[in-house]
A and B are shown apart, each in its own frame.
Chain A
């Protein structure tokens, strides 16, 4: 039945919003509960990609290209951010021999 409605309506904007929200939720959850820094980075990328998907969907919905250009920039910024993040992690690994963020606890007050 559900399949029938989807096919009849074409894929409407709500489904994109739902998918993007689910992806975003998985990303947020991952950042909050995982301890491995690399996986944290992946979850953050997932959040950014959820936003990308939403922007592209809305861009098609409104028939405007501006959001798609925005997505290009987000991708580049995400790559730059990942680069910096990984470099910081390499530095941390050299000092501590781990990427488990629960072991970064030298600062406490």
Chain B
């Protein structure tokens, strides 16, 4: 009979794989660094060597409207995790669970309605 408790021998292939993966990456990095040709020029040092020429500073102030949308997304997105426990216990919770989730969604929608009415999602003001 096979034992269900894993012993150290079971992990051995995993260790080998880890060593090989790490070893390959490290060796490649070192070897390319040593053997590769070193060319330094202005074009070479650009972020995008090919394609559209970059313009201006990357750290320019972004309009606060993006921020509003992003923040609202974070809020509404995270609430979704409450659906996971419900989805798992969907059958066991029966009608009562459904009503609870509907109530939850209603609160959700009230919040959304408020955001909408308040004009937080309007792009052009």
Contacts and interface: CB of A to CB of B under 8 A. Distances in A.
Interface of A: 3-4, 7-8, 10, 69, 72, 75-76, 79-80, 82-83, 86-87, 90
A7 B11 contact: yes
Contacts of B7: 7-8
Given A8-B8, A90-B67, A69 B85 contact: yes
Contacts of B74: 79, 82-83
B78 A75 contact: yes
Given A7-B11, A72-B85, A75-B78, A87 B6 contact: no
7 contacts: A7-B6, A7-B11, A72-B85, A76-B79, A79-B77, A79-B78, A80-B75
B121 to A, nearest CB: 16
Nearest to A78: B78
Contacts of A7: 6-8, 11
Closest 5 CB pairs of A and B: A79-B78, A7-B8, A7-B11, A83-B71, A83-B75
Q: How many interface residues does chain B have, given as a range?
A: 10 to 19
Chain A interface secondary structure, helix, strand, loop or mixed? helix
B71 A86 contact: yes
A65 B15 CA distance: 32
Interface of B: 5-8, 11, 15, 64, 67, 71, 74-75, 77-79, 81-82, 84-85
A82 B81 CA distance: 17
Nearest to B64: A90
A89 to B, nearest CB: 10
A78 to B, nearest CB: 8
A72 B75 CA distance: 14
B81 A75 contact: yes
A92 to B, nearest CB: 13
